[in-house]
């Protein structure tokens, strides 16, 4: 740990929405641990939620154990770009800090924050969640990103792929602050109890695998590909089943696709569920499947591994090199453009899951390195490092 200076380092951390539980647990740790390391952190949430998150559940404030300022009630989209920009600039002006951490670089108001900090000669950093697999690389967008990154004293990213992404934009390695991604698990989560539950349970029937998808029902998630791959799996494993948890704009189309593929008896649309309910499903499932065509990380993979559930994950997901260790260590990966490759990965996961206690042990060992405490310490280290460098 880089030690702090004599006076507390004032850091203003801005974030888009209060809805995010996983940011809540990390920010809570930054608040408590930061004080011990000479950091006085303030947290500013721009809005409570986003329109696309409303169907996935409300805000659980029990995960936000830190003081924060909320700029707008309701959804992010309920306020205009101009109103958001003015509110953010006023907050920066009225609450001087040694370092401002900007939520991202993809919105107009974030550019306004960057320029305002430059005018005030405030040190600034930015959270970067992207990888090269995220979105189409348009020339104007690439040009803008390079300019944004170059004008920040530091960049916080999580994962190997995000770090490689920044290096590809010419960001100096000294300015990249790598941090681990961490899930917000139930308050009574106990990995020892999870492992014990596998020791006391029967081994799964490899001939009746039960696959699980958890997330938004939207196009970029690749769920249509999953249904088609699952239809192929059923030719080999006719007793296989697929549970789909979540809600989203594609639900009607996916139900129709299920009927057309004659999978109505083996595919279950279960709607949104809380993590307490999903945790039980993780323990009963052969594997979690995340077939996304675009996914900066894939936090549900953290959640699945935390409950000893192996995973089948698209190579487009940012978490792959960090969490998805192939050859059935924690799961399998596949090319998101290869439906048959997904089907083969599903079959392999069922065949390699015969000793579930052993698989669960490996999953829990890997995910034990991705905790809110470690993620928070890496943010704290990054803040101190940025402050120690010449302006």
Strands 39-49 and 99-102: unpaired
The pLDDT, as a whole number, for residue 15 is 97
Per-residue pLDDT of the chain (391 residues; tens, 9 = 90+): 444 456 899 999 999 999 999 999 999 999 999 999 999 999 999 999 998 887 677 899 999 999 999 999 999 999 999 999 999 999 999 999 999 999 999 999 999 999 999 999 999 999 998 888 876 667 888 888 899 999 999 999 988 999 999 998 999 999 999 888 999 999 999 999 999 998 877 766 778 999 999 999 999 999 999 999 999 999 999 999 999 999 999 999 999 999 999 999 999 999 999 889 999 999 999 999 999 999 999 999 999 999 999 999 999 999 999 999 877 789 999 999 999 999 999 999 998 887 889 999 999 999 999 999 999 999 999 999 999 988 7
Question: Could you give the CA distance from residue 224 to residue 386 in angstroms, rounded to a whole number?
Answer: 44
Question: Could you give the CA distance from residue 104 to residue 110 in angstroms, rounded to a whole number?
Answer: 6
9-182+371-388 CATH fold: Rossmann fold (3.40.50)
The pLDDT, as a whole number, for residue 122 is 96
| Domain boundaries of the chain, sorted by first residue | 9-182+371-388, 191-367
Question: Could you give the CA distance from residue 32 to residue 206 in angstroms, rounded to a whole number?
Answer: 46
* DSSP codes, 136-157: ---HHHHHHHHHHHHT-SEEEE
Domain 191-367 has CATH 3.40.50.1220: no
The pLDDT, as a whole number, for residue 178 is 83
How far from the centroid of its chain's Cα atoms is residue 120's Cα?
32
The pLDDT, as a whole number, for residue 135 is 67
The pLDDT, as a whole number, for residue 138 is 75
- Sequence-distant (6+) residues with CB within 8 A of 354 are 203, 204, 206
Q: What angle do CA 262, 267, 273 make, to 5 degrees?
A: 155
Tokens 């998150």: give the residue. 53
Helix 299-306 × helix 356-367 angle, to 10° = 130
Domains 9-182+371-388 and 191-367 are alike in CATH topology: yes
The pLDDT, as a whole number, for residue 2 is 44
């Amino acid at each position: 740990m880089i030690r702090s200076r004599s006076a507390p380092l004032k850091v203003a951390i801005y974030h888009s929405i209060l809805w995010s539980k996983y940011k809540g647990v990390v920010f809570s740790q930054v608040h408590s641990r930061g004080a011990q390391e000479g950091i006085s952190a303030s947290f500013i949430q721009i809005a409570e939620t986003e329109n696309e998150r409303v169907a996935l559940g409300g805000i659980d404030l029990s995960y936000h154990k830190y003081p924060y300022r909320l700029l707008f009630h309701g959804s992010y989209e309920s306020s205009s770009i101009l109103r958001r920009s003015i509110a953010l600039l006023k907050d920066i002006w009225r609450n001087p800090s040694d370092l401002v951490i900007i939520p991202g670089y993809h919105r107009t108001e974030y550019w306004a924050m960057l320029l305002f900090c430059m005018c005030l000669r405030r040190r600034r950093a930015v959270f970067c969640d992207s990888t090269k697999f995220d979105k189409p690389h348009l020339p104007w967008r690439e040009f803008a990103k390079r300019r944004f990154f170059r004008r920040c004293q530091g960049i916080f990213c999580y994962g190997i792929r995000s770090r490689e992404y920044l290096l590809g934009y010419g960001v100096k390695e000294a300015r990249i602050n790598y941090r681990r991604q961490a899930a917000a698990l139930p308050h009574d989560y106990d990995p020892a109890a999870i492992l014990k539950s596998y020791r006391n349970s029967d081994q799964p029937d490899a001939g009746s695998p039960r696959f699980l998808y958890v997330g938004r029902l939207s196009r970029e998630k690749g769920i249509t590909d999953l249904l088609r791959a699952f239809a192929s799996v059923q030719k080999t494993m006719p007793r296989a089943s697929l549970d789909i948890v979540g809600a989203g704009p594609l639900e009607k189309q996916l139900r129709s696709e299920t009927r057309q593929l004659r999978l109505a008896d083996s595919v279950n649309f279960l709607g949104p569920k809380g993590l307490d309910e999903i945790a039980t499903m993780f323990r009963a499932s052969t594997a979690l499947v995340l077939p996304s065509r675009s996914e900066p990380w894939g936090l549900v993979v953290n959640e699945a591994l935390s409950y000893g559930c192996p995973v089948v994950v698209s190579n487009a997901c940012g978490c792959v090199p960090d969490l998805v260790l192939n050859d059935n260590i924690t799961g399998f990966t596949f090319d998101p453009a290869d439906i048959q490759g997904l089907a083969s990965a599903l079959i392999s996961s069922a065949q390699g899951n015969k000793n579930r206690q052993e698989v669960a042990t490996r999953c829990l060992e890997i995910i034990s390195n991705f905790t809110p405490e470690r993620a928070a310490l890496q943010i704290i280290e990054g803040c101190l490092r940025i402050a120690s460098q010449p302006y």
